[in-house]
Structures are given as C-alpha cells and as structure tokens.
Amino acid sequence: MKKEKPSYLYVKDELVKKIENGDFEVGSKLPSEIKMAKYFNVSRETFRSAVKKLEQEGKVVVKRGVGTFVSSPLSTIPSSLENLWSIGSLIRSAGLKEGEHRESITTVPCKKEWSEKLSCEPQSEVIKHERIRTADGEPVVYSINFLPKKVLGAFFNNENFSGSLLNYLKSNCGISIVRADTELSVPLHTDKYCQKLLIHPSTTVVLLKQLHYDEINRPILYSYDYLRNDVFKFWIRRTLTN
C-alpha cells in the first residue's frame, strides 16, 4: 500500500495536472476558492494551502480582491545556485564522470579571514583540506576547505576523511550542513589556484567563497571553490521581493 498524501498536496498536484493539461489557460482566472474547495471536497483553508504552495513555486499569481491566475510554466533551470549541492553532484549533473582527485589534509593555525567567518579563535587549529577534481583527465575544480578542529571534537579521523565532506560531517559528526552564504567572484589570472585550472585559452574560472552553516545556523565550514566556467554553468532564478 502506498502511503496517502495529505489532501492539500493532492489538491495541489491535481491543479498542476489541470494547468498542464490546458484545463486552465495561462493568464486565466481560477474559479473562486469557495467553489474550488467544494469541487475538491475539502475545506477552503485546505484548498488555500494548496494554492500557497503553487504560489511559492511561481505557478499561479494570487491577487487580493481579484482572483487567482494561472501563470505560464517556467522552464526548470539546471543546478540552480540557490540550491546547495556538493561539488561531486555538480560534476555528475554536468554529465561528467569524476576522475581521480588528489587530496591533501593538513592542520594549520587559523588565519584572521577564516576565524572571522567561522567565529573561532585566531591561531586555533584548523583542518585544511585541499583537492583537485578531474574529469576526462583534466582538472575541473580546485577546492580548499577550512574546518575548525573544535567542531569535529573527538570525531576527527584522518582515515575516513575523504569523499563528500558534507556526508562525512553528517555521518561521523552528526552535523547537517543545510545553508551557505556564498560570495561569487572572478579570480585574477595571477591567482595561483586559478592558474591550475587555466588549461585552454577559452577557459575562465569562477571562485565561490562559501561559509556553510548547520541547521541552527552555526558556521561550520569555510571553503574556496574554483570552478571552470567552460565546464559548469551557473544559474539563478531571481525574484522581486516586495
């Protein structure tokens, strides 16, 4: 037996079907909430929950005192930046097969820039984790991660420390990274990490400086990720905030 889904989600899916099906034309007004609630045999609030979801997804526009209108479908955009993904899954979603990646792990004293972001003591011990990812034998990503030793606590274990860092943190330390504040920039050609990726004349490189947070917004991990722009595309869906 399949688990039954909440009825507001059921209603939402039905509405999506009707829209995709052309039962409701783009730009047209839906029947009033009261009518629709009766039609679906749910209460008005339940129907409204469904509409709220659709509104969040940009599939309908609700105008107070006027009505609810169908908007045209937006194409789904690939690996959108506002979603947080691991570099590994980015590589896979670009249709590449991750090749050899060289790593180095050292313990270094915390520099001022990182200590401010990670809110830990300057000079305290920080694990610095560097790696190059390759695809088809060519380097495509260079990343440097800074992880205060204190957040790992007793869990630090040099041996398991590879693969997806986010997975490592979750399974070994019980820390879930769910958010990151990312500054996106273009490194100079003279940047030594950038240079490791400048293989072809048509290559450009994007640098993501990312501060990763756990569920309750504690800063956990600071990283520099250099990504080749001829290999990866960066999309954002931007919305007007009222």
Partner DNA sequence: CAGTGGTCTAGACCACCGC
Partner DNA sequence: CGGTGGTCTAGACCACTGC
Site for DNA, rule CB under 7 A? 3, 6-10, 30-34, 41-46, 48-49, 62-68
- The DSSP call for residue 57 is T
Which of helix, strand or coil describes residue 11? helix
Minimum distance from residue 32 beta carbon to a copy of itself (Å): 19
Q: Which of residues 163-202 bind a copy of itself (CB under 8 A)?
A: 177-188, 202
DSSP H helical ranges for 85-215: 87-93, 112-118, 149-152, 165-173, 192-195
Q: How far apart are CA 115 and CA 185, in angstroms?
A: 21
Residue 32 binds which entry of DNA, a copy of itself, none, CB below 5-8 Å type-dependent: DNA
- Select 106 or 190, whichever has its Cβ closest to a copy of itself: 190
Burial 197-208 (b: 16+ CB within 10 A, else e): beeeeeeebbbb
When binding is defined by CB under 8 A, the residue of 20, 100, 121, 215 that contacts a copy of itself is: 215
* 4 scored as a contact of a copy of itself (CB under 8 A): no
Q: How many CB atoms lie within 10 A of CB 7?
A: 16
Minimum distance from residue 235 beta carbon to a copy of itself (Å): 6
Residue 158 binds which entry of DNA, a copy of itself, none, CB below 5-8 Å type-dependent: none
Minimum distance from residue 215 beta carbon to DNA (Å): 13
* 69 scored as a contact of a copy of itself (CB under 8 A): yes
Q: Which stretch binds a copy of itself (CB under 8 A): 5-13, 90-98, 147-155, 216-224?
A: 216-224
Which residues have C-beta within 8 Å of that of residue 159, sequence separation ≥ 6?
A: none
* 58 scored as a contact of a copy of itself (CB under 8 A): yes
Q: How far apart are CA 88 and CA 98, in angstroms?
A: 7
Name the amino acid, one letter, at 95.
Answer: G
Residue 161 binds which entry of a copy of itself, DNA, none, CB below 5-8 Å type-dependent: none
* 81 scored as a contact of a copy of itself (CB under 8 A): yes
Structure tokens, 66: 């006027």
Structure tokens, 74: 């937006």
Q: How far apart are CA 139 and CA 99, in angstroms?
A: 9
Minimum distance from residue 104 beta carbon to a copy of itself (Å): 26
- 51 half-sphere exposure, CB direction, 13 A CA radius: 24
Minimum distance from residue 219 beta carbon to DNA (Å): 24
Which residues lie near a copy of itself (CB under 8 A)? 26-27, 58, 61, 69-75, 77, 81-84, 177-188, 202, 204-206, 210, 213, 215-218, 229, 233-241
